[in-house]
Amino acid sequence: MNKTILLAVATLFLASCSGFLDRYPYDEVSDKTVYSSASMAEAAVIGVYSNVRYDFVNTDNVALDAYSSVLDPNTLINYSDYPMLMGTIRPSSGVFLNRWKRLYETINRANDVISNISSVPDMEEAVKECRVCECKFLRAWTYYQLNCLWKGVPVYLENLAPSQYMKPRTDINGVWKVVIDDCTDCINSENLPMKYPKNSADKGRITKAAAYFLRAKAYMWQKEWALAEADLRSIGPGGYSLFTGSYADLFKLANEKCDEMVFSLNMTEDSGNGNVYPYMYGSVRTAGGGWNRYFLNTVFCDSYQWADGRPFSFADVIPGYNTLTPKERSVYFYRNGMTESEVRECTEYGAKMSEYLPSGNEARIKLAYSGRDPRLDATIITPYEAYHGGTPTDAQYTCRFPFRATEDSDLKTQFNQYALYCIQKFVTDGRECMNPSYNPVDVPIFRYADVLLCLAECLNEQSASNLTEAVGLVNQVRTRAGVAALNDGNAWNAVSTQEQMRSRIRQEKHWELACENQLYFEELRWDTWKSEKYDTAGGLTQVWGDPVYQYKWDKAYAAWAIPSSECEKNKNLIQNENWF
């Protein structure tokens, strides 16, 4: 999909976005105008894509990965945007309603194209079929998200009059069938390609490979491991493979259309059409200024292994570290040459200042971050690591504690009163993009690395006899990352049982896919979300483990609440359990 064409039509269709049940009759306009010509029909198709892109081009949106165990929202948005994490949410919350309406708006747009594009007089039949498949996939992807969150929703496969949107919820397996059926139609189409060439104007449109992957994901939710395996095995032969460069370079503009990207969303360096990751994830020093809406969870950051595969512990570098309280061990993270007032403040905070090395403190803690899984440095700005920023100048900025406003080279964030792990992944390097809200790098949704890890999971769940092949698939991802292979002869990398392999695959997914807004869905699928997010991650903490705030669980959170206003409009909707 040519980026220039996308920009030209996206604004028109995003401007028409409104609540699903509150829209003006869209079909009347479509029948008379939109489907009278191929150019207008193509614009309608891109309008569906535009709605899918909303999550990544709007600075007011919330990141789904902040619900996962890898990210934590900052202290300004934790209660307002993530009340479910803080134990303060109700079914009337805009968190539920806004996502519900936007996802159904995408379905509405997709249904419109699917129902009407056949009437376009000047469009080739093969193109019509291809566009229908694209919209069926996007409809399936939207129902996938709805089903992950709500565990059963009303299904509409054609647009109705506003008063007719009164269906009850289809159960969770029934919605998976809808996803599978739409993906199957895509896969069976002779006119939908498996892959577009890298330089094709259609690069970024839906392909059969994306449909195979999405159908496999739906099968995995149903534990239909053999069916998912078959779909996942179909993707590689279609021309997809791991990016052969470094993990960090995979997310740069030059490599946005590499063979690893099974499904990615086109972005352009224009208002409303660029990805907002640098704004959401970046800091004050990011070119144009980021807002640190999210930080990486400390427990997650500490989970990254040494490059040889050994589990990491600060005690490997600093003997006795684990015997101290979080406040006491904050001393190990302080900068060299602290002033008397800084020492006094840190002492009052509770740091064990007898352990402080005035001229060697920084070097000591840096040893805890060197020699680790390279994805750590690619994802996280670690203490005393230089970040290449762009504000106010193109320069190196270093993450130091305590922060000094007088030091121009200190990494400035929106929350320098805390020592937190800032995000490196997807954040602008230097001045390669001067507006953090208009970043032109395409957003990956499905990557081949995840294909390999999903295939390993499917094999492992079917039989212990598949262990060797599953290990080999995971090792492809680890080798590209620069981490030692499993079962390489070292005891710490040994894997011999299904349970051990299951744990390894899930760990690997977290390290590989962090910040890509896929892990929340996976933690829900594994039924590990409560244990990983609330019990283990626990909340936002400083790098030494002292809590900034903590999460509060309620049993209702296992499935999102149907928005109260939707239940009022449609009396056939039954609320999820434990929501009042």
Q: What is the pLDDT of residues 108-149, one digit of tens each?
A: 999 999 999 999 999 999 999 999 999 999 999 999 999 999
Q: What pLDDT digit, counting tens, does each position of 315-325 carry? A: 999 999 999 99
pLDDT at 531: 98
Mean of the pLDDT values across residues 77-99? Answer: 97
Spatial distance between the Cα atoms of 219 and 46, rounded to a whole number of angstroms: 28
Spatial distance between the Cα atoms of 311 and 364, rounded to a whole number of angstroms: 19
Mean of the pLDDT values across residues 67-92? Answer: 97
Determine contact, residues 274/440, Cβ cutoff 8 Å.
yes
336-339: long-range contacts at Cβ-Cβ below 8 A with a sequence spacing of 24 or more?
A: 336/360, 336/361, 336/362, 338/402
pLDDT at 47: 94
State the DSSP string of 143-187: HHHHHHHHSSB---SS---GGG----PBPHHHHHHHHHHHHHHHH
Measured from the Cβ of residue 223, the count of other Cβ atoms closer than 10 Å reads 12
Q: Which of 55-59, 215-219, 376-380, 482-486 has the lowest mean pLDDT?
A: 55-59
Q: What pLDDT digit, counting tens, does each position of 13-64 carry? A: 433 333 333 333 334 444 568 899 999 999 999 999 999 999 899 988 879 9
Could you tell me the two tokens for 174?
């029934």
Backbone angles phi, psi at 296, to 5 degrees: -80, 140
pLDDT at 15: 37
Domain extents for the chain?
A: 1-62+89-192+558-580, 280-300+312-423
Buried b (16+ CB within 10 A) or exposed e, 15-50: eebeebbebeebbeebeeebbeebeebbbbbbbbbb
pLDDT at 31: 58
pTM: 0.94
Percentage of residues in the chain having pLDDT higher than 70 = 94
Mean of the pLDDT values across residues 520-541? Answer: 98
Q: What pLDDT digit, counting tens, does each position of 188-228 carry? A: 999 999 999 988 999 999 999 999 999 999 999 999 999 99
pLDDT tops 90 at residue 11: no
pLDDT tops 60 at residue 3: no
Backbone angles phi, psi at 33, to 5 degrees: -125, -60
Which residues on neighbouring strands pair with residue 275, listed in sequence order? Answer: 439
pLDDT tops 70 at residue 182: yes
pLDDT at 580: 85
Percentage of residues in the chain having pLDDT higher than 90 = 91
* Residue 6's pLDDT band (cuts 50, 70, 90): very low
For the 1-62+89-192+558-580 domain, the top CATH level (class) is mainly alpha
pLDDT at 513: 98
Instruction: Name the residue type at position 86.
Output: M
Q: What pLDDT digit, counting tens, does each position of 263-276 carry? A: 999 999 988 899 99
Closest CA to 563 of 100, 54, 17, 167: 100
Specify the pairing of strand 422-423 against strand 443-447.
unpaired
pLDDT at 67: 98
Buried b (16+ CB within 10 A) or exposed e, 490-512: eeebebeebeebbebbbebbbbb
**What distance lies between CA 111 and its chain's CA centroid?**
26
Closest CA to 397 of 379, 417, 412: 412
pLDDT at 32: 65
pLDDT tops 90 at residue 311: yes
Q: What pLDDT digit, counting tens, does each position of 451-479 carry? A: 999 999 999 999 999 999 999 999 999 99
Could you tell me the two tokens for 186?
């895509």
pLDDT averaged over every residue in the chain: 94
Q: What pLDDT digit, counting tens, does each position of 328-357 carry? A: 999 999 999 999 999 999 999 999 999 999
Q: Kindly give, in sequence order, each residue whose CB lies less than 8 Å from that of residue 41, ignoring residues fewer than 6 positions away.
A: 34, 35, 113, 117, 120, 123, 131
Mean of the pLDDT values across residues 538-553? Answer: 98
pLDDT tops 80 at residue 378: yes
pLDDT at 103: 97
Burial class (CB in 10 A: 0-12, 13-18, 19+), 341: exposed
